[in-house]
Chain A
């Protein structure tokens, strides 16, 4: 036995020992993810302590030392003192990087709270002021042609503006969706110096001031072609404004489609168009819908291009080609110009309607666009599997029955669908055997 053998022998015996003495596995513990980001007692204490200290110190400063007054000054000073106190408190227990982490975490949370609170306040303010006008049903069924500024809220409404907005955005979408998506596809699928140039121009145009879009249509459509201000001119102005937004957003979304998917499709023999239609666009669907909806929401709320191109009327006009046509944002703008309280109430009511319209658009977009490719594919797979199982089990004779069952099965979530599939398969094969 050499010196070198010894450790090996020992190791082997140790391993054997370990195997012999290892306690038998009793039960399998399923791994539960460890909870991270827990709040410790000391965190809560240091935050609340810092808040108390900051408030106390600020009160002392503002009442005793330097009575400068002002609620805003108080809040700003209190917040700065809070951050400093909090940093000092944390530094008693922790190292410098952790102190920095805590302070920035608090700052980020504060900023987010400020933003969301203010934005919610903006919306809530307009809706609450609009509540005076909204309960009157005539607000949604009449126009303003017979209602003067001094009339109460029970007379007149904004149906003309609602219809005008819908017609204008409809025309604008009919122009921008095909043109915008085609261009976005062009930028992605036909690379080259020309598409790079187009992309640069489009990107530069995203920040095109909406009033410049209005001026452009005013300069061409109305001054050069000599046509009247109309709903159609307004839709063109909105289209010019929406187009770059939509192209850029869809371009970004299309670029995120994995090239392996496209290459697989081309490799399987599909042509470019089919690849785009069957692979690229469906993969990017939710992003594209979001792009369209965001552009729509911006287009429907734009006032300035419409101000220059659509003219203003208090009467109902559903013809986009003749006569002035008013839209919701323009109506808001004209209403609140008046000093009459009832007109201002109408303005806020119209703004509430406008926001509701935007909200509805958004909900629709979420419903269409929220469905991911994976989810849709999974559903289709379940359907195909059920279908296949039924056909193979029962033969083509019960195809009609099978199709109905498959359709029901496709509506069930995965687990249930599988269970139903098993059940159906056994039943159908049983029936098939009996038929033989």
Chain B
């Protein structure tokens, strides 16, 4: 008895198909080349500064490239702190909003809300910066004060130079902080996170939803047992995308923070830093070597966001909704 082996299929593509494939493939190649060139050129430009600085580049906090004393320790940690504040505020907001739109909102309102969220994702960052600087900055002081008074025993919420018992002490220590920048960035990334999460939630299989409801689940029970497990890839993917945007956000952060070049672990306190605002701040007066140092900082930011994104893709690819998020 012979075992059936599948017949080998070979197709002959005609010329039209070959041309078509060639054209689309060349599009892919161009895009790939552009994307790889970003890393290559930044690396080339940055090599001068990094080779001059060596490993000190990762430990040094100050940024005085022309004095030979520069490093990304302070700005990198500042960037990450702002991003963490932003994501930890934006995640619950985006999750709540996307669940509301996909599960709770009345049908008539749904389309409007989806459009609104997409529109919000497109609002330029400079507008959020304006709002943060002119509207939020003043009204955030009592909140920051309240947190630092009640949770000041947690190191990151501590604020130096402010004594709640001294009525004359100034509250300006609470402005231009990592916290304020984080709130603004959180608002900027909430719509894009919401948009991705909602898209994934709305794709969760209708059969399973109805099955859960038919077995007597409440709406929240259905969400917890069907929608959230299905959409976990979208939640992580959306959050990571938001994190990537938060890490790279320039203008809004630049408008709000007052830059410092020491590690500033107190998020409520005046003075913060981020790599992108460092570049925006210094590129104008940078010498050739200073520019190379800035390129090195940009390269670091690039690598960090790449790692975040690859991590996100790896997680998302394993989830059920992965392919579509």
| A interface residues with partner B (beta carbon < 8 Å) | 68, 70-73, 97-98, 100-101, 104-105, 107-112, 114-116, 118-119, 121-123, 125-126, 129, 178-180, 182-183, 185-187, 189-190, 194-195, 197-198, 200-213, 215-216, 218-220, 223-224, 240, 243-244, 247, 252, 255-256, 271-273, 276, 290, 293-294, 297-298, 300-304, 307-308, 329, 332-333, 336, 344, 347-348, 351, 354-355, 358-359, 361-362, 366
Contact code string B54-68 (vs A, CB < 8 Å = 1, else 0): 000000000000000
B294 to chain A, nearest CB (A): 7
Max chain A C-beta neighbours (<10 A), residue from B34, B113, B122:
B122
CB distance from B300 to the nearest CB of A (A): 10
B32 close to A (CB within 8 Å)? yes
Check if B301 is an interface residue, CB within 8 A of chain A: yes
Interface hits, B132-162 → A, CB 8 Å: 133-135, 142-143, 145-146, 149-150
Listed A/B pairs (16) with beta-carbon separation below 8 Å: A68-B150, A73-B150, A97-B218, A119-B116, A121-B135, A183-B27, A183-B31, A194-B28, A203-B309, A208-B248, A212-B38, A218-B283, A294-B121, A333-B255, A348-B130, A362-B118
Q: CA A361 – CA B221 in complex, angstroms? A: 40
Overall SS of chain B's interface: helix
CB <8 Å contact, B128 and A122: yes
How distant is B317 from chain A, measured CB to nearest CB, in Å?
Answer: 10
B178-230 contacts to A (CB < 8 Å): 187, 190-191, 194, 217-221, 223
User: Do the beta carbons of B124 and A209 come within 8 Å of each other?
Assistant: no
Q: Is B175 an interface residue (CB 8 A)?
A: no
A187 to B99, CA, bound (A): 31
Q: Is the interface of A mostly helix, strand, loop or mixed?
A: helix
8 Å CB contacts to A: which residues of B12-27?
14, 16-17, 19-21, 23-27
**Contact present for A179 and B313 (CB under 8 Å):** no
Interface size on B, residues (CB 8 A): 102
**Which of B38, B94, B247 has the most chain A CB atoms inside 10 A of its CB?**
B38
Nearest to A256 among chain B residues (CB) is B324
- The minimal Cβ–Cβ distance linking A196 to chain B, given in whole angstroms, is 11
* Distance from B320 Cβ to chain A, minimum over Cβ atoms (Å): 15
Q: Is the CB of B123 within 8 A of A355?
A: yes
How far, in Å, is B143 (CB) from chain A's closest CB?
5
Instruction: Determine the distance from Cα of A431 to Cα of B105 in the docked complex, in whole angstroms.
Output: 55
The reply to whether A116 and B126 contact each other, CB–CB distance below 8 Å, is no
In contact, B24 and A301 (Cβ under 8 angstroms): no
Contact indicator B251/A125 (Cβ below 8 Å):
no
Q: Among A179, A297, A308, which residue has its beta carbon within 8 angstroms of that of B283?
A: A308
A72 touches B146 (CB 8 A): yes
Would you give the shortest CB distance from B6 to chain A, in whole angstroms? 19
Whether the Cβ atoms of B34 and A243 lie closer than 8 Å is yes
Contacts known (A207-B309, A273-B17); A108 close to B104, Cβ less than 8 A? yes
CB neighbours of A366 from chain B (8 A) = 115
Question: Could you say which residues of chain B place their CB within 8 Å of the CB of A293?
Answer: 122
> Which B residues touch A201, using CB under 8 A?
32, 35-36
